[in-house]
Amino acid sequence: MRPGLRGSYEALFHDAGMQNFLLPLRENATAKVLEEARLERAIGVIYRPETERQSHYFLASLPRQFDAVLHFDHSRAVEPLERFELMHTQEAPETYPSTL
């Protein structure tokens, strides 16, 4: 993933200098500064670098949307589940019937 765009919550949290944190947004005076709408990135969509701003970011106010935020500055993609479970265990795959 590319770094968060300037003006986004993601960039703000990265610039805070903490790798991972939980930020409660209810009854938290510090969270008041986050009420003004900023860019929020949608993770999990089909990634298109050429249209990243238009297709992956939208304006949002985190305290109006969520009770808390978990921030992870670095992560990695999940690895697929074993696709050949039937061959090994004689059981249906955990992802049956889609086998994703």
Give pLDDT tens digits for 30-87: 888 899 999 998 877 677 778 888 888 999 999 999 999 999 998 887 776 766 555 5
- Residue range(s) defining the domain that contains residue 61: 9-75
Q: Is residue 81 part of a domain?
A: no
Provide the token pair at 55: 């297709």
Provide the token pair at 52: 């990243």
pLDDT of residue 93: 63
Number of domains in the chain: 1
Return the higher-pLDDT residue of 37 and 89.
Answer: 37
pLDDT of residue 60: 94
Q: Is residue 50 part of a domain?
A: yes
pLDDT of residue 54: 84
- Provide the H-helix boundaries in 24-90: 52-56, 62-65, 85-89
Q: Is residue 60 part of a domain?
A: yes
CB-based contact 87:93 (threshold 8 Å): no
Distance of CA 48 to the CA centre of its chain: 16
Comparing C-alpha atoms, which of 67, 75, 64, 89 is closest to residue 10? Answer: 75
Q: Is residue 100 part of a domain?
A: no
Q: Is residue 94 part of a domain?
A: no
